[in-house]
Amino acid sequence: MKGAEAKKLALTDVVGFNSTTGKGVKGTVSGKQVAVGNTELFHDLSVDPAPLLDQAETLRKEGQTVMLVAVDGKAAGIVGVADPIKESTPDAIRELRAAGLKIIMVTETTLRRPRQSPISSASNFMPTYCRKRKQR
């Protein structure tokens, strides 16, 4: 909200907002049904995610969390979110290892391979554990 206000973007009210844990959110914005979430939400709403899947996979490989967007029952776009890695991260991890600590990363992001994580890459690989999401 603060970012939109700083850019002087007009904010519109959402009517009928509904959040489904682990899937996404939906509501009506300016008379249009809008849904933002994952493929499970799209499945529940009978929205075909196929037009978005290639681009979504590209963003995931970059370590981004991907949210699919549907407007009025049709795939409309993607939102990718990533936390930038601080320049100091690799050095900090090396120092912790040198102190005898075992470093692991735990994430809810579904990774195909641990090395796909930007943090794993930046820190010369650390074991990564992630939650496996049920795919439909």
Contact 65, 82 (CB under 8 A): yes
Q: Residues 6 or more apart from 136 whose CB is under 8 A from it?
A: 39, 40, 43
**Residue 136 pLDDT class (50, 70, 90 cuts):** very low
- The span from the first CA to the last CA of the chain, in angstroms, equals 33
**Residue 113 pLDDT class (50, 70, 90 cuts):** very low
- CATH 3.40.1110.10 location in the chain: 2-81
> What is the arithmetic mean of pLDDT over 120-134?
55
**3-class secondary-structure state, position 92:** helix
Contact 30, 23 (CB under 8 A): no
pLDDT at 50: 96
Q: Tell me the per-residue pLDDT of 77-95, one tens digit each, with 9 for 90 and over.
A: 999 988 777 888 888 888 9
Nearest to 103 by CA among 87, 116, 118, 119: 119
Q: Tell me the per-residue pLDDT of 9-51, one tens digit each, with 9 for 90 and over.
A: 888 899 999 999 989 999 999 999 999 999 999 999 999 999 9
pLDDT at 44: 96
Q: How far is CA 56 from CA 40, 119, 129, in A?
A: 14, 20, 21
The residue ranking higher by pLDDT, 65 or 55, is: 55
Contact 41, 24 (CB under 8 A): yes
**Homologous superfamily, domain 2-81:** Calcium-transporting ATPase, cytoplasmic domain N (3.40.1110.10)
pLDDT at 115: 46
